[in-house]
Structure 1
Amino acid sequence: MTRHLLPVLALFASGVAATCAAAGKPNVVFFLVDDLGYMDIRAYNPNSFYETPHCDRIAAAGMRFTDGYAANPVCSPTRYSIMTGRHPSRPDATNFFSGRRGGLFQPAPLHDRMDLEEHTLAEAFKDAGYATCFAGKWHLGPTPEFWPTKQGFDVNIGGHSRGMPRSFFSPYHNPRLPDGPKGEHLADRLASDSVRFIDSNKGKPFFLYLSFYSVHTPLQGKRELVAKYRAKADTLPSPDEKPEFGSEEQVWQPKGRKASPRRVRIRQRHAVYGAMMESMDTAVGRILDALDRNKLASNTIVVFMSDNGGLSTSEGSPTSNLPLRGGKGWLYEGGIREPYMIAAPGLTRPGSVCAHPVTSTDFYPTLLELAGLPPRPLQHLDGHSLVPLLRDPSAKLARKSLHWHYPHYSNQGGFPGGAIRQGDYKLIERFEDGRVHLYNLEKDLGEKVDLANSDPARVQSMRRDLHSWYEKVDAKFLQPKPGGPMPWRP
């Protein structure tokens, strides 16, 4: 038992925490929100159009990471990284399906499942005697043998192959979620079933992973909440006075096909998205209230994150990530920088903030250490325990770089590429032709000023480190089309 856990264990032993069957084992609640943007919740953006008082409770109770990242700019690979502590490039899980958009080259091979050989975070908790429950979006396997109950979860509420619901209102047509009363909202249902799991397992340690389908498309909100946010939008400057959309860089189109101008949302005022945000936030509040009601809050670690950036460049472009550039499907900050919060009672100082860069692979070793469980270094190869940062946000991790690798054409317009962050600097590399961009995020969070030509030595050094990492994880790259040219290679 490390010295870092002494404050936590002292709290658990004090009698303040609820009684656990195994003394000293904290509960864990992990909230993962689908397609939530960095600027969507008020803990990160006090001027957000959306109202998120319950998500903000987590920030108030624990630590908010300003530089928290997803391992990938789209959903399933990031989910893989959370569950395994490994970068999705290692198992070639950089995308689960090719989507509707093509490109000049063929994408790298797809990988549509989380391999059963992985010892998942849920399996680690189950091995330690935890009751384990998954609720919501899984999207880590095409068939039932890869779904939650085969990956360490005792209970599966709604997790299956699809990455989006057929409807956010019952009937759901979900093979792992019986329909509720007609018109029941999916976020409400997931919250109700999750609360029942908490109530039924309050006498023993549990791991609840509530992975919302919200706020992914289809864009569907409760009628009364849509009306509320429409009225709120009417109080803002009209689109004629202040534009809602700006231009985004255009992407390659097949010869002879006219390119549709791609736009990016630059103002938050989408009423349906606002309604979906509030329903998700209310569901978070119901879980937190259940912990309070059962006197479990002081013995429960709460984690909150999004799987990728907000959807700002396609499919209705419902939210804005400004000042971040891009969104879901892009390697710019808007596609990979996420709300990232951890509340660990007795360890994290309420309302604390940490600016050290962290990523989604870090949850696995962090939660094991917080729970007093042995590390699994051969499993969570790419994760670092954040316990030192949770104790002292000015501490440093023994990690020089964060890396990204996305050799695909995203539906949202993003280009195939890789990226590396070292300190305040971030380098992006395009896989079609090898072009690079360099940004100083401290001075230029919106990635508007490309420093690649003015700092060639840094470009060379960072690029060398990125290519070394590609080799380490056996990264795959774009492939030529039949009879077509060869893509660039590192």
Structure 2
Amino acid sequence: MRIKLNQIVSLLLCGMTGVLTANGQNAQPAEESVGRPPNVVVFLVDDLGYMDIGANNPNCFYETPNVDRLSQTGMRFTDGYAANPVCSPTRYSLMTGKYPTRVQATNFFSGVRSGTFNPAPLRGHMPLDEITLAQAVKGAGYATFFAGKWHLGEDAAYFPQNRGFDVNIGGHKAGGPYTGNKYFAPFKNPEIKVESPEGDHLPDRLARETAQFIQDNKDQPFLAYLSFYSVHTPLMGRPDLVAKYREKAKAITGTEFASEEQVFGDKPRNVRILQNHAVYGAMVEAMDQAVGKVLQQLEDAGVADNTVVIFTGDNGGLSTSEGSPTSNLPLRGGKGWVYEGGIREPWLIRYPGVTAPGSESSEPICSIDLFPTVAKIAGVEIIHEVDGVNLLPALRGKELQRPSLFWHYPHYSNQGGFPGGAIRQGDLKLVERYEDGRVHLYNLKDDIGEQHDLATDMPDRVEQMRKELHAWYKTVDAKFLTEREGRQPWLP
């Protein structure tokens, strides 16, 4: 999507990169706002599955009252997606509005695993010439804040404070809370400059920092981006909440695991099919309490009615590896898989005066849509090419004029997923395997679990969708599996 300027714009420099433009301090507010542009709060939860919140799952084992209230006061998207089944690529797309394939950022930074073949080439950072969401709104006069997991570059040049954020609390190269006592203080995180008292809990610390930023900046437009390390491994929970969920789990009966598709390796791959993991439950609820603390601060600061709140995740729930703490059923697979369990995500958006409380939308949306949507809200003119679309029509209950969404994952995931791509058009989703070129076709409306392959029944539709997927590969300069030990992979 290219939006051309209709007036003179300022070229602003933010951090270490040359930015975009907007109309500087005089950027026009969103059309719904009569005063200053709305504030924006983004909650990004790491490894949170679609079925891990009560708003999406009435039978959810985990308790998420604050997230559920956000859904009740805003719009819930039933068909929201991450741009990739693992973290760094999706984080790139949220920051830039682009498919990660455009810059070969197609796996977590920097994850390289071989299977039958070697993976595609992988870039290990978000390029410095990218225009980030923070740079865009900063150019329109917004104060900008980041807290939590970043995982978009290997050194400080790539960290949030050099990519448009005025404040960075905890964002650096790591993909998890791996320093110090991990989720408990002392954190020894290189980007948390003031250490917490011993035993402090990381989700709460990040929420307190976010709340303080809101209080300090309530008199000007702001972007607060709270990117939780939760609920990523290591699996660690507050003792009081772990005890609560252990007691709760006693009432849960049934089979915990089932066999999953075997892609590589000697050990059988299982998938969790029952939510009853006490530590994971504690982690989800602690995340929810942190969300509640920030939402309460919006009320206390008197800015809730002029703040857009967006809640989503970076990839599906961890169901096939690393403790397999959650179940995504009825969705198939999980993190690291291009099945729905790996890419369908919670998406909740509250835009006071625009979204009807408790409303739902079945419009397929994706991580690539955050940048153009927030840019529109902030009054920023986009002068570079992005792949996402402005979601304001959907927030008003209208259809989006976008025929297809695409995925491209040319890697063997740590979680057992196969290298593959996908295209969704309407209710149909085509999955393509990169090892041998096999394809599958599913009707997600009738078969959200992707159990009934329609490829042989609908050959014309398979051909049409595959042709469009391959055309998209060329558009974004997609790379694919490479030769290993004399074996040559399939290539489109």
**TM class, shorter-chain normalised?**
over 0.9
* Aligned equivalents of 1:391, 1:409: Cα separation in 2: 39
Identity fraction in percent: 62
Q: CA deviation at 1:101?
A: 4.3
TM-score, normalised relative to structure 2: 0.92
Q: Report whether the alignment pairs 1:405 with 2:408.
A: yes
Q: CA deviation at 1:4?
A: 11
Mapping of residues 92-107 of structure 1, within 5 Å? 92-97=104-109, 99=111, 101-107=113-119
Q: Report whether the alignment pairs 1:158 with 2:170.
A: yes
The aligned counterpart of 1:18 is none
The aligned counterpart of 2:268 is 261
Q: Which amino acid aligns with 1:315?
A: E
The aligned counterpart of 2:262 is 250
Q: Secondary structure at the match of 1:89?
A: helix
Distance change (3 Å), C-alpha of 1:101 and 1:477: closer
The aligned counterpart of 2:74 is 62
1:436-480 CA-to-partner distances (Å, cap 9, x unmatched) read 111010110000001111211111111000000000000000110
Identify which of 483, 487, 490 aligns with 2:489: 487
Q: CA deviation at 1:5?
A: 4.8
Identify which of 291, 304, 307 aligns with 2:298: 291
Identify which of 376, 388, 409 aligns with 1:383: 388
Asked if the contact 1:123–1:151 (Cα under 8 Å) also holds between the matched residues in 2, the reply is: yes
The aligned counterpart of 1:454 is 457
* Aligned equivalents of 1:203, 1:184: Cα separation in 2: 30
Q: Secondary structure at the match of 1:231?
A: helix
1:361-402 CA-to-partner distances (Å, cap 9, x unmatched) read 01111111122332x1524x211001111112xx22221110
Identify which of 187, 194, 205 aligns with 2:210: 194
Q: Report whether the alignment pairs 1:432 with 2:435.
A: yes
Asked if the contact 2:96–2:133 (Cα under 8 Å) also holds between the matched residues in 1, the reply is: yes
* Aligned equivalents of 2:316, 2:252: Cα separation in 1: 24
* Aligned equivalents of 1:201, 1:249: Cα separation in 2: 50
Q: CA deviation at 1:338?
A: 0.3
Asked if the contact 2:86–2:108 (Cα under 8 Å) also holds between the matched residues in 1, the reply is: no
The aligned counterpart of 1:43 is 55
Q: CA deviation at 1:97?
A: 4.0
Identify which of 252, 264, 267 aligns with 1:236: 252
Q: Over the residues paired in the alignment, what is the CA RMSD in angstroms?
A: 1.6
Asked if the contact 2:423–2:465 (Cα under 8 Å) also holds between the matched residues in 1, the reply is: yes
Q: When the two structures are aligned, how many residues end up with a matched partner? A: 463
Q: Which amino acid aligns with 2:491?
A: R
Identify which of 170, 182, 193 aligns with 2:185: 170
Mapping of residues 340-359 of structure 1, within 5 Å? 340-359=347-366
Q: Which amino acid aligns with 2:391?
A: L
Q: Secondary structure at the match of 2:52?
A: coil
TM-score, normalised relative to structure 1: 0.92
Asked if the contact 1:325–1:332 (Cα under 8 Å) also holds between the matched residues in 2, the reply is: yes
* Aligned equivalents of 1:287, 1:410: Cα separation in 2: 34
Identify which of 54, 66, 73 aligns with 2:85: 73
Asked if the contact 2:337–2:417 (Cα under 8 Å) also holds between the matched residues in 1, the reply is: yes
- After TM superposition, where is structure 1 displaced by more than 6 Å over at least 4 residues in a row? 1-4
Identify which of 119, 123, 133 aligns with 1:111: 123
Asked if the contact 1:98–1:408 (Cα under 8 Å) also holds between the matched residues in 2, the reply is: no
* Aligned equivalents of 2:418, 2:383: Cα separation in 1: 33
Q: CA deviation at 1:102?
A: 2.6
Asked if the contact 1:100–1:411 (Cα under 8 Å) also holds between the matched residues in 2, the reply is: no
Distance change (3 Å), C-alpha of 1:364 and 1:331: same
Asked if the contact 2:258–2:272 (Cα under 8 Å) also holds between the matched residues in 1, the reply is: yes
Asked if the contact 1:114–1:140 (Cα under 8 Å) also holds between the matched residues in 2, the reply is: yes
Asked if the contact 1:4–1:388 (Cα under 8 Å) also holds between the matched residues in 2, the reply is: no
Q: Which amino acid aligns with 1:458?
A: R
Asked if the contact 1:159–1:176 (Cα under 8 Å) also holds between the matched residues in 2, the reply is: yes
Q: Secondary structure at the match of 2:355?
A: coil
The aligned counterpart of 1:30 is 42
Q: Which amino acid aligns with 2:204?
A: D
Q: Report whether the alignment pairs 1:321 with 2:323.
A: no
Q: Secondary structure at the match of 2:246?
A: helix
1:274-313 CA-to-partner distances (Å, cap 9, x unmatched) read 0001110000000000000011100100000000000000
* Aligned equivalents of 1:362, 1:487: Cα separation in 2: 33
Q: CA deviation at 1:358?
A: 0.8
Q: CA deviation at 1:179?
A: 2.5
Q: Which runs of 5+ in 1 are unaligned?
A: 14-22, 254-258
Q: Which runs of 5+ in 2 are unaligned?
A: 1-5, 7-26
Q: Which amino acid aligns with 1:210?
A: L
* Aligned equivalents of 2:207, 2:375: Cα separation in 1: 25
Q: Secondary structure at the match of 2:103?
A: coil
